[in-house]
A and B are shown apart, each in its own frame.
Chain A
Amino acid sequence: MIEVQHIKKGFGDKIVINDVSAVMDDGKCNLIIGSSGSGKTVFMKCLVGLFRPDSGSILYDGEDFTNMDTLGRKEIRKKIGMLFQGSALFDSLTVERNVQFPLDMFTDWTLAEKKKRVNEVLDRVELKDANKKFPAEISGGMKKRVGIARAIVLNPKYLFCDEPNSGLDPQTSLVIDKLIKELTLEFNITTVINTHDMNSVMEIGDKIIYMYKGEKEWEGTNKEIIFSKSQRLNDFIFASEFLKDAKDMRMLEQTGKIDNNRNMDDLLQ
């Protein structure tokens, strides 16, 4: 479990994260959503230690990550896997070597043991016959899978995904979401996902944190989000007419009522 306690982060005079507290639960997909510039990327970078918060603390299973010495932070980081927005694969290494890299660095395994583990995780992300290819030779969806395989190869306790669906078609996005969800449950990982994708919010959002201008505006589950009274959240999530209709249909199904601000006749037309 990751506990965030009143963190603040600014650059110069600009405050990007202002007094945010949250708890990221084990075995769940914890989603951070918000419009561009709302501070969610900075928030995630604070969580993984790429930025140091100006105040507040971040606890990994009760251990204060923010005030740890370099060695302590290194130990925590070994339990972290991260999937980057652009996958961040090493260009000069093949898919197989990319996934093997953390094993080379942190284990004393034999080459055969490493190969076995690499093939296991590549199979798990359903990526076959790509072992010898370079990142430039594979598609965006495959890169994301390699990124996930590299992130989970050391059996992390925490998985961070920054915009896992960016640049992917809707079908591939669903596959990636499903994969992340399955891995979270299978290995009881604390997964934190930074996303704009509404499909992800509805499909895998066990816990959703909505950020607005550097502050936590709303927190809840994907079941609760359609009943949210936060106007900002509603404007963000249900931005299009299509999504507003979808929300109303879901509300109608569940409660027999629709959003008070909308006309039932419009929906039924």
Chain B
Amino acid sequence: MKFIHEFGRYILMLRDMFSKPENRKVYWKEFMHQCNDIGIGSLGIVVIISIFMGAVSTLQTAYQLVSPLIPKSSIAQIVRDTVLLEFAPTLVCIVLAGVVGSKIASELGNMRVSEQIDALEIMGINTKTYLVLPKIVAAMIVIPMLVVISAGLGIWGGRLAGQAAGILSTTDYDKGLLNSFLPYNVVFAMIKAYVFSFIISSVPAFYGYYVEGGALEIGRASTKSVVVSCILILFADYVLAAILL
């Protein structure tokens, strides 16, 4: 019963987000602020994760491909597809669920507890449109960009690691990257990025917006939002793979 009630409230929150903005300039400013917070704010961690993710993929693939019959360039092929299909969209989004999700939940939770949301409501502002919508739209624009950057850096990290460890030359790696490349994999990665970015932003926004109590509850809401987002990302990952591949 509780799940149905919560899900209903979540859907109502999403529905109520869509109303005419009181002032487009202020909303645009808030949207740009969120793009900066979510995009630039998470860029550092995405860069670090992506490079190491690609590097480790190269080393572990090389470790497992011991047969002399398999050309070295296959390592690049495997790294490319793994990074594109799974690591860049899923792993990065799970990390972002922690980084961005907890920030959104705690920001809105703090605003709720300190009556800032009530203050906006009394001014006659639709707080769901002003506070939640820009976060979701910004996430859905910026997070797919981060996934693209992550995929590029992951593949580049694999190239660096392959060369540094003497596993395969950069020429072999580049040759492998071009072998049997399916552009659909990029489309699939982007679909995943859009779905995950919606989960990453809307679920924490829901938990933060409806928080009740004090500082302890803000912490709980933040943790719960990250856990639920991660589970939903993994579930959506499976469903999308089953449907689209």
Contacts and interface: CB of A to CB of B under 8 A. Distances in A.
Interface string A159-191: 010000000000000000000000000000000
B119 interface: yes
B6 interface: no
Contacts of B122: 48-50, 77, 80, 82, 160
A100 to B, nearest CB: 11
A242 interface: no
Interface stretch (A61-69, A101-109, A261-269): A101-109
Contacts of B25: 104
Nearest to A45: B118
A88 B124 contact: no
28 contacts: A50-B118, A50-B121, A50-B122, A73-B124, A74-B124, A77-B122, A77-B123, A78-B123, A80-B122, A82-B119, A82-B122, A84-B115, A86-B114, A86-B115, A88-B114, A88-B116, A88-B118, A88-B119, A91-B110, A101-B123, A102-B123, A104-B23, A104-B25, A105-B23, A105-B26, A105-B123, A105-B125, A160-B122
Nearest to A73: B124
Interface in B1-41: 19, 22-23, 25-26
A142 B119 CA distance: 18
Query: Binding site of A, secondary structure by majority: helix, strand, loop or mixed?
Result: mixed
A74 B19 CA distance: 12
Contacts of B19: 70
A100 B121 CA distance: 16
B124 A77 contact: yes
A106 B119 contact: no
Contacts of B110: 91
Contacts of B23: 104-106
A98 to B, nearest CB: 10
Nearest to B20: A71
A85 interface: yes
A188 to B, nearest CB: 20
Interface of B: 19, 22-23, 25-26, 110, 114-116, 118-119, 121-125
Interface of A: 48-50, 70, 73-75, 77-78, 80, 82, 84-86, 88-91, 101-102, 104-106, 160
8 nearest A-B residue pairs (beta carbon)? A77-B124, A88-B115, A88-B119, A74-B124, A84-B115, A82-B122, A78-B124, A105-B23
A70 B19 CA distance: 11
A106 B121 CA distance: 13
Given A86-B115, A88-B114, 7 more contacts: A50-B118, A75-B124, A77-B124, A88-B115, A88-B119, A102-B123, A105-B23
A105 B22 contact: yes
A217 B195 CA distance: 56
B118 A84 contact: yes
A57 B29 CA distance: 38
Nearest to B19: A70
A187 to B, nearest CB: 18
Contacts of A85: 115
A106 B22 contact: yes
A85 B115 CA distance: 9
A77 B26 CA distance: 19
Contacts of A50: 118, 121-122
Nearest to B125: A105
A113 to B, nearest CB: 15
B56 to A, nearest CB: 38
B84 to A, nearest CB: 37
B118 A104 contact: no
Contacts of A74: 124
A114 to B, nearest CB: 12
Contacts of B124: 73-75, 77-78, 80, 106
Contacts of A80: 122, 124
A104 B21 CA distance: 12
A84 B123 contact: no
A57 to B, nearest CB: 19
A18 B122 CA distance: 24
A249 to B, nearest CB: 39
B206 to A, nearest CB: 19
